[in-house]
Amino acid sequence: MPTRVSKDCELADFELSKGGANHQKPKGKDDIMTTAQGAPVADDQNWLKAGARGPSLLEDHIAREKIFHFDHERIPERVVHARGYGVHGTFELTDPVPELTCAAPLTGAKGKKTPAFVRFSTVAGNKGSPDLARDVRGFAVKLYTEEGNWDIVGNNIPVFFIQDAIKFPDLIHSAKAAPDRGFPQAQTAHDNFWDFVSLSPESMNMIMWIMSDRTIPRSLRFMEGFGVHTFRLINAEGEVKFVKFHWKPRLGMQSVVWNEALKINGMDPDFHRRDMWDSIDAGDFPQWDLGLQVFDEEFAEKFEFDVLDATKIIPEEQVPIRIVGTLTLDANVENFFAETEQVAFCTSNVVPGIDFSEDPLLQGRNFSYLDTQLKRLGGPNFTHIPINAPKCPVRHFQQDGHMAMQNPKGRVNYEPNSWGSGEGAEADRGPRACPMNGFSSAPVAVSGEKVRVRSETFADHYSQARQFYISQNLVEQTHMANALTFELSKVQRMDIRKRMIGHLRHIDEGLAQEVCDGIGLPKLPDKVPAAREPITDLPESPALSILRNGPGTFKGRKLGIYVAEGADAKIVSQLKDAATEAGAMVEIIAPHIAGAKLSDGSMLEADEKIDGGPSVVYDAVAVVMSEASASRYSTDKPSTDFVNDAFAHAKFIGYVPEVEALFDNAGVWSRRDDGMIDLSGSQGAKGFIEKCADLRFWDREEVKQD
C-alpha cells in the first residue's frame, strides 16, 4: 500500500500548520494550547504515527495525556440528588439578629453581604433523568462567611419520610430503580416504594406533601426552601433558642399540572435548568427571603409534636416567620462540572452561632455527608476545590492526602508546640484554638441509657398529614387524590394498595374513598392500626397551600405568542409591551422559525417553530393570526395541540376572533370561558396580562365538591 501523503493532504496539513480554515491561528502566547504540564501543543488533530498510514505510536505523550484524562472524566454521581443545577449569588442581611445568634451572616450592619452558591436538584433520578419528575427538590445553600462555610442543606418540602437516619438507605433503595431490572427511573409509581412507605406510617405526612403539586414545580425560581430540621441559635452571651430555616421566593410559588409535566419532560427534559439559566442570563435574578422560626424550650414542651421529629412542621400560624435577609441568584456557573458537580454540601458545616439539635435524622446526616464527599471527590482535600474552599483564611495542621493543594508551611505540623518562644523562636508556632471566638456547642445536658428505641413523642403519624390535606383548596385536594390514584394504579400488588388506603383513612375518609373509587376497589379497606390516635381538630394552616398564596403577579413568567401570516401587528406589539411592563418574558412562536409577516408588512422573527414551542412551556399563551392563516393551520396537529393543551392545563388564553377555525378544530371555540380573553375587545392586551397574574384559570378544571 502506498504511504506517500497526497497533494491534497499535504495542502490540508500545510493550511492546518499555518492556521488555515480548519485552525485559527493563536492571537498570542496566552492562546497557545498546552498539555496539562504546560508544554505547547503543535497539533491537536492527529496522533503521532509511523508514516501517514502507519500504526499509532505509544510514545505520543500528548495523545496519551488527552485520552487518559478523558477516560477519567466521570466521578461517581451522587447516590441521591444526582441531577442538580447550581447558581452563584449573594445573601444580603436586612434585619440583623445579634440578640439571637452570633452567626456572621446574621449579625453586623444591615446590608451586609455574604457570597453564596445554591444547588437545586431532584432526589430519586440519576444525572440523566428529566427535570419534571414528580419528586422532592433539593434546595442546598452554601454561604461563604468570614468565619467559614455554612451549609443549609434542605429541600423544597419542610418534612421528610423518616425519623431516624438508619432508615435512609431503605427509603432510597425502595424509591430508586429495582436492583434486578434497573427501572423505574426518577419516579415512585412502583411497588417497592409504596410497599416501604405503607409499612412505615411515619412517612404519611411526607406522602401528602409529595402527592401535592409541590413536587412538580413550574420553575426552580418558584419554590420554597426549608432547612427541614430543628437547629439551635446561640448568641454572644451564650443564650440558646431553637430555629427552623425557611426560604420564601419573592416571585411566589407555582407548579404545573401532571399532564403538563409529562409533556414538558418529553419536549424539554432540561426545562428547569434552561429556565434558570435564561432568567439569570437575561438579568431577571430570582430572589428568596430567609425566614427564621425561632422558639424556646417552653414552646417545645407545649407543642403538640416533638420539635426533633423531622416528619413534623411547626405551623407558621403558631410560630410566625421572621424575615432576616434576601438571597439573590445573579450569576450562572462558568463550568458545570467544576462547580455544580464538585460542590460538596455537609449538614455539619456550621459556623459559630449555629448548632445542631438532637434530631436523629440530622445527627445521621452529619455523619453521612462527609463520607459522601470522600467517595465522590476522591479524598479528604475536597475543600481545596475552589467551589468548596472557604473565602476566609484557613489555618490548621491537617496535611497531605489525595490531591493536597496546600500544606502547613514551615517546620511545625502539630499542636501543642513550643515554637515561637524561647529557643527556636524564629519558627512560626502555627494556629491555636480560640475559646472566646471559636465554635462552641450549646451546653445541653445529656443523659440516659444506651438504647435502640424511638421516642414515644414521635408516635403520631397522621395528625399533621391531615392538617396539610385540609389546608389545601379544592383544586389542590383534587390533584392530590389524582396523584395517589395514579401512583397506586401502577402498583401491581393489591395488598400494598389496600394497606396504603388503610393509612389514608386516618388522614381523611373522603380522600381515602376517592382513591378507593379511582382504583376500583369494591369497598374501603380496614384502617391500619395507629400507634397513636390522630388529632382530628388541628386547624387549617393556609400558609401550607400554594394556590391560597398566589403571587398576584405575572412577573418572572413567560408568555408565548403564536403568530402567522397576516397577524395584527398592533395587537402583537401591545401584547409584548404589556407583558414586558409586567416583568414577564415573551417568546414568539410561528409556523416557521424565520417568523411571520405581520399585517403592516413587517417581518417578525420567531423564537420557536410551533413544533418546538408547545404551550406547555409557557405560563400563558396568545394566538394572533389572520382568518386565512387560522384556516390554513386549523388541521395542523402542533397548532391544535398548542391551543388544546393550553385550555386543558387551565392557562389563560388570549385570542383574536379571526382564529375561530383553529380554535374550533382544537375543540375549544364553543367552550370559551372567562379564562379566554378577546384581545380585540375592551380588555385588550393589558387586561389579558392583568388576568394572567392569577397564573391559572382553575374554574376550568373539574374538582370534587366541598
Measured between alpha carbons, how far is 539 from 48 in angstroms, rounded to an integer?
A: 76
- CA distances (Å), 106 to each of 97, 99, 143, 174, 250, in order? 6, 10, 11, 39, 20
Strand pairing category for 603-604 and 596-597: antiparallel
Burial class of residue 178 in the structure, from the number of CB atoms within 10 Å of its CB (0-12 exposed, 13-18 middle, 19+ buried): middle
The residue written with cell numbers 375543540 in the block is 667
Measured between alpha carbons, how far is 581 from 594 in angstroms, rounded to an integer?
A: 26
Active site residues: 81, 155
Measured between alpha carbons, how far is 379 from 589 in angstroms, rounded to an integer?
A: 50
Whether residue 630 contacts residue 564, with contact meaning beta carbons closer than 8 Å, is answered with yes
- Classified as helix, coil or strand, 657 is helix
End-to-end CA distance of the chain: 85
Measured between alpha carbons, how far is 513 from 484 in angstroms, rounded to an integer?
A: 12
CA nearest neighbour of 440 among 678, 101, 202, 105: 101
Whether residue 189 contacts residue 238, with contact meaning beta carbons closer than 8 Å, is answered with no
Measured between alpha carbons, how far is 112 from 325 in angstroms, rounded to an integer?
A: 9
Measured between alpha carbons, how far is 463 from 441 in angstroms, rounded to an integer?
A: 33
Q: What are phi and psi of 114, to 5 degrees?
A: -130, 125
CA nearest neighbour of 465 among 262, 209, 272: 209
